[in-house]
C-alpha cells in the first residue's frame, strides 16, 4: 500500500522547559484481515522518542488467512422438476482475493435414455462468481432402445409341452415401461382339435415383459363340427336342402294297375327309373329261379307225351 492504513498520534503535556522527548507508549498492533505484524521501524524501539518522531509498524500478507468459495453445477433432465444431480465446485484462496473461481471441467453425466444438450449460460465463462450456478441440460435420446418380448404357447389337451410357441417382440425407448401391447393371436389348425380358451381367460391389452399367454385346444366332438353348437346324432343321416340326392315327382312314378283296368304294357327304361342302379329285391336268386322254371317245363312236357301215347294205344 502507498499510504499508512492507520495513524496513531501519541501526545504528552509537560513543563515547557523539559526536553522535547516523549516516553514511548505501548503500541496497539492492528488486526488487518489477510495480514499479520511483521516489524517496527526503527527495528528496535527506543525508550524515548523525539518530538514529531515517527514509528512505523509494518504488516505483511498472512497466507494462513483463507476463505473457501464455491459455485454450483446443476444437471437438469428434460421434464423433471428438480436437478437430478448437483456438483459443488469449491476453491480455497487467500482471504483478500476476489470472490471468483476459475471454471473447472464439467463432468457430463451419462443418464440412461438421455443425452447432453446444452449449457446455461450457453457460453461458459472462464471465471464464475462465488455462489454462481451453471446448468447442464439433457434431452431424450431416442437412439437408446430396448427389445422386450412375451410368449404365446399353444397347448393341446393331454400333452405335456406346448405344441407350438411364438415370441412376440417390441423395440421401444429404454425408459418406457416393461410392457407390450398384446397382438392378435392366430389360432392353429390341429387335426382333431379345436380352440378351447385362453389363459388368462380375458386377453389383456398389455402384458408384462417375459409374460406368457396360453392358447388351449380341446378335442373335437365325434358327432359334431369344431364350430360348437351341437352336431348331428351319431349314426343318423339328416338330409339337407340342396344336398346330394334325386327328387322324384309323383307324376314320374308308375302306379300298379287297379283290378279290372286294361293292362298297360308301357316299358320303362331302367335309365329313367330313379335308383335303378341299386340292387333289386330277389335279384341274387335269379339263377335258381330260372333253373326251377326249366325243370317244371320239362316235367309238363314229359307228362303230356306220356298221356298222348296212352290215348293212341
pLDDT tens-digit map of 89-133: 999 999 999 999 999 999 999 999 999 999 999 999 999 999 999
- 126 found inside a domain: yes
Please say if the pLDDT value at position 214 is more than 80: yes
End-of-domain residue from the set 92, 121, 140: 140
- 280 found inside a domain: no
Q: Tell me what pLDDT residue 306 has.
A: 73
pTM comes to 0.60
End-of-domain residue from the set 123, 140, 157: 140
Kindly state the helix (H) or strand (E) to which residue 195 belongs, with its residue range.
strand 193-199
102 and 157 share one domain = no
End-of-domain residue from the set 219, 240, 264: 219
- 215 found inside a domain: yes
The mean-pLDDT minimum among 106-110, 129-133, 143-147, 248-252 falls in 248-252
Q: Tell me what pLDDT residue 313 has.
A: 58
**In the structure, what pLDDT confidence band is assigned to residue 290 with cuts at 50, 70 and 90?**
low
Q: Tell me what pLDDT residue 234 has.
A: 34
- 230 found inside a domain: no
- 28 found inside a domain: yes
**In the structure, what pLDDT confidence band is assigned to residue 288 with cuts at 50, 70 and 90?**
low
Phi, psi of 139 (to 5 degrees): -125, 165
Note whether 150 and 213 are within 8 A (CB): yes
**In the structure, what pLDDT confidence band is assigned to residue 285 with cuts at 50, 70 and 90?**
low
Distance CA 127, CA 86 (A): 19
- 76 found inside a domain: yes
213 and 180 share one domain = yes
11 and 27 share one domain = yes
Tell me the pLDDT of the chain averaged across its residues: 84
Range of the domain at 103: 66-140
Distance CA 238, CA 236 (A): 6
Amino acid at each position: 500500500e502507498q499510504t499508512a492504513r492507520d495513524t496513531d498520534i501519541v501526545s504528552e503535556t509537560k513543563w515547557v522547559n523539559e526536553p522535547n522527548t516523549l516516553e514511548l507508549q505501548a503500541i496497539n498492533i492492528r488486526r488487518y484481515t489477510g495480514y499479520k505484524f511483521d516489524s517496527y521501524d526503527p527495528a528496535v524501539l527506543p525508550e524515548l522518542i523525539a518530538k514529531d518522531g515517527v514509528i512505523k509498524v509494518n504488516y505483511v500478507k498472512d497466507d494462513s488467512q483463507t476463505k473457501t468459495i464455491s459455485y454450483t453445477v446443476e444437471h437438469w433432465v428434460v421434464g423433471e422438476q428438480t436437478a437430478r444431480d448437483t456438483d459443488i465446485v469449491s476453491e480455497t484462496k487467500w482471504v483478500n482475493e476476489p470472490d471468483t473461481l476459475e471454471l473447472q471441467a464439467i463432468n457430463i453425466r451419462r443418464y440412461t435414455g438421455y443425452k447432453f444438450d446444452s449449457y446455461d449460460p450457453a457460453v461458459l465463462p472462464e471465471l464464475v462468481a462465488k455462489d454462481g450456478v451453471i446448468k447442464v441440460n439433457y434431452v431424450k435420446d431416442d437412439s437408446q432402445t430396448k427389445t422386450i418380448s412375451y410368449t404365446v404357447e399353444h397347448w393341446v389337451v393331454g400333452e405335456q409341452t406346448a405344441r407350438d410357441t411364438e415370441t412376440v417382440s417390441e423395440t421401444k425407448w429404454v425408459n418406457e415401461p416393461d410392457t407390450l401391447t398384446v397382438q392378435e393371436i392366430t389360432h392353429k389348425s390341429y387335426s382333431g382339435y379345436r380352440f378351447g380358451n385362453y389363459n388368462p381367460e380375458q386377453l389383456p391389452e398389455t402384458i408384462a415383459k417375459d409374460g406368457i399367454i396360453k392358447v388351449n385346444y380341446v378335442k373335437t366332438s365325434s358327432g359334431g363340427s369344431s364350430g360348437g353348437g351341437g352336431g348331428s346324432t351319431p349314426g343318423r343321416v339328416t338330409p339337407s336342402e340342396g344336398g346330394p340326392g334325386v327328387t322324384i315327382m309323383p307324376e314320374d312314378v308308375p302306379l300298379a294297375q287297379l283290378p279290372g283296368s286294361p293292362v298297360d304294357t308301357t316299358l320303362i327304361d331302367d335309365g329313367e327309373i330313379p335308383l335303378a342302379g341299386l340292387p333289386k329285391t330277389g335279384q341274387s336268386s335269379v339263377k335258381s329261379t330260372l333253373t326251377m322254371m326249366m325243370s317244371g317245363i320239362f316235367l309238363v312236357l314229359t307228362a303230356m307225351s306220356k298221356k298222348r301215347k296212352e290215348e293212341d294205344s
